[in-house]
Structure 1
């Protein structure tokens, strides 16, 4: 027995519609992935900022241990284990000391 030629084999109408929906969904997903990758590639260089410049030396008072460090424009703050916040200038000199209260 011979196989029927390709043009004679027809899918039922519901199955043809489903096949078209799957094709459209696939193309939409491919377009979405390309768009997301393009946005990430074009926007990522703008989002990455250089790290702030660290002073050459920062001298903490005796017996203190740094717990957290944060940077601002023109200052560096160090939270210590004895509940103080030490604010330093970019050259490393102490500008301000703030006592913290709380648990």
Structure 2
């Protein structure tokens, strides 16, 4: 049995966001956007990144750097490239 967290996650998040700098917000946006794009690319490939699978229909082939202008500032994204076809975030 694991020990419960001493500080609830929502309290930690609220404290971090209350004292957050724009750099923290941009980092959070980048992490979230990269995770979403990775999930979309996994769906298009038929398997997760680095996973061997018989259902795989495509492979990743690196990343393209792109800037994304947000209210928090410009965020550098790493958009997954695919070997066959193309991927554009929705």
Q: Please classify the TM superposition score into its range, dividing by the shorter chain length.
A: 0.3 to 0.5
Q: Which has the larger radius of gyration?
A: 1
